Structure 1
Amino acid sequence: MPNMLQDQTCHFSEVLKQYESMIYHLIHKLNIQDREGEFYQQGLIALWESYQKYYDRDSFSKITYITIRSRLIDLIRKKSRLIERETVSEFFQEEAEHDASIENFDPMFWELVRGALTEKQWIYVQKRIVEGKGIKEIATEEHVTIDAVKGWGKEVKRKLRPVLKPYLT
């Protein structure tokens, strides 16, 4: 058994030499900045899995290209979702921990924020950002679904991005 694994690994190193440029090509083609090598590593994993499943097929090259490309795109999407979750509310929650009277922090700022939002969105800002309540708790208090509160939050984020840009730079 170890001999078979060793043979497979030795053969894979030859495949890697042949297809490594494909990984780099896809990283470049997708305009990925891979400073930590995370995308390259994902490409290697995809190549290995493709090798294990499809190496004996005539279409191995095409399947491998699609597999690596798909994995890189999935990783891009995963990273994008993580970035989207980092909201302005998280920034303000950190500030709220330091100063309980955040509403008095800058009245003109809060007027600017209030003016950009609907009533429900303002409730979201007050309860989630200022008071630090959870989404479920807000939904219970406002007699709406959790998805409705999440929707308010998404709209708050979308509307406040341009408004808060001068404050975050």
Structure 2
Amino acid sequence: MENHKLIFEVVRNQNNCRVHYHIHKLNVKDLDQEIYQEGLVAMWNSYERCHPDNGIIATYFNYVVCNRIVDLKRKLKRTKKGIIV
């Protein structure tokens, strides 16, 4: 398990800018770093589920991280409007 953590640390360091890119691309204000943390969790989940022989992991990271940020953005928008309490 410890080796798995170290490997993800390397992956996170290499793909850290990927999360920031999607936050910027989606024009999200992330003052409290909540969306950034959600992007890292999405990257961790996709890292655990990935199968390297199925394709390029960076493409999978892009897909999962972007969709998770969009989902969180929609959820926060609905919460602000009072639809979800």
TM-score for the superposition, normalised by structure 1: 0.47
Give 4+ residue runs of structure 1 displaced > 3 Å after superposition: none
Out of 36, 43, 62, which is 1:65 matched to?
62
What 5-or-longer segments of structure 1 have no aligned partner?
A: 87-169
What 5-or-longer segments of structure 2 have no aligned partner?
A: none
Higher RCO (CA 8 Å, separation ≥ 6 residues): 2
User: Residue type of the partner of 1:33?
Assistant: K
User: Which residue number corresponds to residue 43 of structure 1?
Assistant: 39
Distance 2:28 2:51 in 1: 27
User: Which residue number corresponds to residue 74 of structure 1?
Assistant: 71
Q: How does 1:1-169 map to 2 (within 5 A)?
A: 5-54=1-50, 56-57=52-53, 58-85=55-82
User: Residue type of the partner of 1:14?
Assistant: V
User: Residue type of the partner of 1:68?
Assistant: V
**RMSD between aligned alpha carbons?**
1.3
User: Residue type of the partner of 1:12?
Assistant: F
User: Residue type of the partner of 1:49?
Assistant: N
**Displacement, 1:21?**
0.5
Tell me: CA distance 1:12–1:47, structure 2 relative to 1, closer, same or farther (3 Å). same
Q: How many residues end up aligned between the 2 structures? A: 82
**Partner deviation per Cα, 1:47-105 (whole Å, 9 max, x = no partner):** 0001101152432111110100000000000011111217xxxxxxxxxxxxxxxxxxx
User: Residue type of the partner of 1:45?
Assistant: V
Distance 1:55 1:73 in 2: 24
| Identity across matched positions, percent | 29
Paired residue secondary structure (1:35): coil
TM-score for the superposition, normalised by structure 2: 0.90
Question: Which of 1 and 2 has greater Rg?
Answer: 1
